[in-house]
Structure 1
Amino acid sequence: MNDIIFGELTYNGEWTKTEHLNLWGKDIDIKIIVSAYENEKPNISQQNAYQKLMTKSDEISKVTLEKLKEYMQENSYDICAYANVDKIPDDVFELVAVTEILFMESGSFGIMCNAKWDSHGIAILCKENDVEVGPQDIVWLEE
């Protein structure tokens, strides 16, 4: 499908494409997922959220990185124990790898990450005016 905002999307159980973004100071290729059935197109809320990410990526990158670092500091005891490190590194990419960004029907989106201390991964949930970091369940509960 060629969406007017997302561009070319492929359906394989979910609508996806790969996007090249600079996130947290690093250029990475990220899988973009649009939560919709095969016979559905992305809704206006998803399109608006995607446009916001693309036009305000520097600001979103800065805010989500700050929230991620806060979360890691608040949970440093457990993270250090499970990741087998002495302290939280300055470079979050030593412990976290972005895997995909999921755009939900509500217009919220989740930056999904693998985490060395959590086998289920973590997520940064971006709502209209709020950013929350936690286990990936926070995104699935929002969905």
Structure 2
Amino acid sequence: MKIYDVVFGELDYDYIWSKDTTMNYFGVKTPISLIIEGDEDGVFDDDQYSAYQSLMENWEEIQQNLLQPILNYYLQKRHELGYDIAFNESYPFVDTTEQLKKMMTLDSIVVSYGDLNKERDIGFLFSCTWDSENGLGIRLLDEKVVDVGYQDVAI
């Protein structure tokens, strides 16, 4: 089933609403999936529209603000797994966000239902070289990073 939404554009429904699109991700046009949580009726809540519009208006700043929390997560995970002591090819030493950017690819943006507190809720799903099985997920509330972890934190 397809619908046209005035904010999200043309969406397909296959248990989730989604469309393939491109985002300018650090200067590179990147193909991604835009996923909008919603029922089969295709009615979305005002918080979802607000979250998406704010994301698009502030995208340049938001993508920069994702990097340091991801680097912190990566270094913590690397330490927890003992790869700061023993070498592991999948978890090389990284100390800059520029190095980290080369190790991850933006795959999807998830526009979640408005949170209980009516915050603007956006999730990002990345594939990454260090964990191809679980990937990387980031959740933003009101354009601030609140969780970094496996992809399930973003959904």
TM-score range relative to shorter protein: 0.7 to 0.9
Deviates more, 1:6-15 or 1:67-76: 67-76
Normalising by structure 2, what TM-score? 0.77
Q: Deviations over 1:83-136 (max 9, x none)?
A: 535312733243222211111002411100122232111111111153021122
Q: Which runs of 5+ in 1 are unaligned?
A: none
Q: Which runs of 5+ in 2 are unaligned?
A: 115-119
Deviates more, 1:49-58 or 1:36-45: 36-45
Decide whether aligned partners of structure 1 residues 69 and 26 sit closer, same or farther in structure 2, where only a CA change above 3 A counts: farther
Mapped contact 1:83–1:116 kept (Cα < 8 A): no
Q: Tell which structure's C-alpha radius of gyration is larger.
A: 2
Give the letter for the 2:149 counterpart.
G
Percent of aligned positions with the same letter in both sequences? 24
Number of equivalences: 140
Aligned to 1:8: 10
Aligned to 1:117: 130
Is 1:137 aligned with 2:152? yes
> How far off its partner does 1:82 sit?
5.6
* Separation in structure 2 between the aligned mates of residue 43 and residue 79 of structure 1, nearest angstrom: 44
Decide whether aligned partners of structure 1 residues 109 and 129 sit closer, same or farther in structure 2, where only a CA change above 3 A counts: closer
Q: Cα RMSD (Å) of the superposition?
A: 2.3
Secondary structure at the counterpart of residue 9 of structure 1: strand
Normalising by structure 1, what TM-score? 0.83
Aligned to 2:106: 98
1:1-143 matches, within 5 Å, as 1-77=3-79, 78=81, 83-88=89-94, 90-106=98-114, 107-118=120-131, 119-131=133-145, 132-140=147-155
Whose helix fraction is larger, Structure 1's or Structure 2's?
1
